[in-house]
């Protein structure tokens, strides 16, 4: 069958709304407007390496790394528990992991605000048992909590879907050959589940490093992350050229690392990037 032309609407759409916008961002990032008109420059990229902005980048990477690590530590055992549950419950357990994602993302984050704030539930609980109230909101901890809360399912689900595909015979064979539980885990289960771990890490780290909503709501604006920096350039300081340079930088980093990780993901053979 030769129906190739029915792809054309899609190709036209993606060129108009994906390729052209990226070219526009790129051209903003390498130009500067002055009295002499437009001129080519790499100044916008150079500005990004100013310690002020590099610190924002390092801070974002730090928070995203911590959140990803916590998600992995909390998520891996959870994925194992779900994968080893009796089939009758298993779908239910997965479903209940997905359902919170159907609640608006901003509302869920907002709900944490009412838990963490000065007069929030956690502090009320603490004062009612005569403990001093804590300063929970507008801290790094609150931002990390928000990230872990929102992105944990992205870690659990890919690991789970790899774990259930592992051939049980392999595990039994290892046990028959005298390996104890720890050894079976380290030598069989863990290595076989690595593709799931890789995609989980990508799926948590990427949104964590670029989110601007979570730091805005839970970090109270004093913790500027890379996402907030981009937003600022476009919505308040009006420096589109610098904002575009940061965006291009993020785009390249994301596509490059996804491409690298994609090599481990054998399920998407021939479909992934590169």
Tell me if 208 sits within 8 A of 63, measured CB to CB: yes
Please tell me whether residue 65 binds other proteins under the rule CB under 8 A.
no
Tell me if 209 sits within 8 A of 226, measured CB to CB: yes
Q: 21 or 55, CB closer to other proteins?
A: 21
Measured from the CB of residue 198, what is the shortest distance to other proteins in angstroms?
A: 14
CA 75-254-215 angle, to 5 degrees, is 65
Measured from the CB of residue 61, what is the shortest distance to other proteins in angstroms?
A: 14
Please tell me whether residue 24 binds other proteins under the rule CB under 8 A.
yes
* Range 82-111, binding other proteins (CB under 8 A): 82, 91-93, 95-111
* Range 182-241, binding other proteins (CB under 8 A): 206-207, 209-210, 212-213, 217, 227, 230-231, 234, 240
Tell me if 196 sits within 8 A of 162, measured CB to CB: yes
Tell me if 204 sits within 8 A of 155, measured CB to CB: yes
Please tell me whether residue 258 binds other proteins under the rule CB under 8 A.
yes
- In eight-state DSSP terms, residue 225 is -
Among 61, 164, 192, 254, binds other proteins (CB under 8 A): 254
Please tell me whether residue 47 binds other proteins under the rule CB under 8 A.
no
Among 50, 54, 124, 260, binds other proteins (CB under 8 A): 124
Q: Mapped to the 3 state alphabet, what secondary structure does 8-55 carry? A: HHHHHHHHHHHHHHHHHHHHHHCEEEECCEEEECCHHHHHHCCHHHHH
């Amino acid at each position: 069958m030769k129906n190739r032309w029915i792809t054309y609407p899609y190709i036209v759409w993606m060129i108009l709304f994906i390729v052209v916008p990226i070219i526009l961002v790129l051209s903003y990032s390498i130009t500067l407007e002055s009295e002499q008109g437009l001129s080519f420059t790499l100044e916008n990229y150079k500005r990004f390496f100013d310690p002020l902005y590099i610190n924002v980048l390092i801070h974002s990477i730090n928070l995203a790394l911590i959140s990803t690590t916590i998600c992995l530590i909390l998520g891996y055992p959870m994925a194992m528990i779900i994968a080893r549950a009796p089939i009758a419950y298993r779908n239910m357990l997965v479903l209940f992991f997905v359902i919170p994602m159907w609640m608006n993302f901003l509302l869920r984050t907002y709900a944490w605000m009412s838990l963490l704030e000065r007069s929030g539930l956690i502090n009320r609980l603490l004062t009612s048992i005569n403990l001093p109230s804590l300063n929970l909101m507008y801290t790094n901890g609150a931002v990390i909590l928000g990230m872990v809360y929102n992105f944990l399912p992205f870690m659990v689900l890919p690991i789970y879907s790899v774990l259930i595909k592992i051939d049980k015979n392999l595990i039994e064979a290892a046990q028959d050959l005298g390996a104890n539980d720890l050894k079976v885990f380290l030598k069989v289960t863990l290595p076989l589940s690595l593709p799931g771990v890789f995609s989980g890490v990508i799926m948590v780290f990427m949104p964590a490093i670029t989110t601007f909503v979570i730091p805005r709501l839970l970090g109270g604006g004093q913790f500027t992350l890379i996402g907030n920096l981009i937003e600022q350039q476009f919505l308040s300081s009006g420096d589109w050229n610098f904002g575009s340079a940061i965006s291009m930088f993020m785009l390249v980093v994301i596509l490059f690392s996804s491409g690298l990780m994609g090599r481990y993901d054998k399920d998407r053979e021939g479909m992934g990037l590169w």
